Amino acid sequence: MDLAGGFVDPKESAEETCKRELFEELQLDVDISNLKYLTSLPNVYQYKEIDYNTIDLFYEYHVPEKFEVNLELSEISEAVWIPLKELDIEDLAFDSQKRFFEEYLKNM
């Protein structure tokens, strides 16, 4: 399981990346001014058997209600809503995400 995300394009801010990726993956059009930066954590992303050191930025964005995700199969294969109290951290794809939610859930 993974969170929506992606790589920053040249001349693009992290917030613009977040807006673009959320639209590409979830068809969610966000107002950048309502993104709340939470933290950053180092990560290792493997691509074509090469490990790349990356930095993952975590943002919070509130939506007024659950929405139906129209899947763009080239981006994601499935979208699910999981209440935070039911999130199994071990199901997350990346160590940075596991570390983030371990801290986040402790502070709730």
pLDDT exceeds cutoff 90 at 98: yes
pLDDT exceeds cutoff 90 at 10: yes
| Arithmetic mean of pLDDT, 76-83 | 79
pLDDT at position 108: 72
pLDDT exceeds cutoff 80 at 70: no
Closest alpha carbon to 81 in 3, 22, 27, 21 = 3
pLDDT exceeds cutoff 80 at 1: no
Give 3: exposed, middle or buried? Use CB within 10 Å, 0-12, 13-18, 19+: middle
pLDDT at position 74: 58
pLDDT of 13-63, one tens digit each? 999 999 999 998 888 899 999 999 999 999 998 889 999 999 999 999 999
Amino acid at 2: D
pTM for the full predicted model: 0.82
